[in-house]
Structure 1
């Protein structure tokens, strides 16, 4: 089994949706919610529900093993801080935090999904945990842009 190697220049991912969103080359309702030295927080553009955000490195990184010491140092506290904000703004029963990193079956720009999970969604989709995410993806229900803008504004206030 081969090891993971760091690309010569992993700062830009050609054709990478995550990179395109950060660069403003694709529509991003709500815009950046928060940006740190190494990470950006944006509302999820996928069908994972209102208030679901993505925490991703500002440079193109495909494997957690490629994170720098600085990125790693920021990650845990940032995920906790963003989870608190999502909890406060969305008031779910639980907040899921999981790594997503595949695009078309190929490893892509890593991103941590921070998703509010409430009883309404669990009842609507008849699922919870990973099965809830799969069901939401298959249903292809996207939040309205105006709602995303409002939630992002509230998240920005909480994240200060």
Structure 2
């Protein structure tokens, strides 16, 4: 008996846990996230672009960014900073849309821990995709790239 194909109308959920060791102090890692100008440089995959329209970096503050292909910026990310503790953690919500269609919504937690060589960054993304497994894979791949690029950005 063959396995049934997934129902395209059913939300797909996942908890994505990733981490990276970055050879810079917690303060430098925190500042690279807190400063919008720095974050837009490391926060999207190479060859893509992000423009932050709203970035109220405080508990309860709003986030709105457009991202995607340079010039097109076909995706819109909106959300809120739920909790911020300086140099410790950031918890955000994010809803991703394209042409007013909701693609996914997520709760994302970044945790920063000082280590003997710098900072351990842990990222947990609790995501619901309304367009199938590909969006879950996109979240995982995008976060993996962001963590790598954060370290590279701080090394440059």
Please indicate the TM-score interval, normalised by the length of the shorter structure: 0.3 to 0.5
More helix by share: 1
TM-score normalised by the chain length of structure 2: 0.35
TM-score normalised by the chain length of structure 1: 0.35
More strand by share: 2
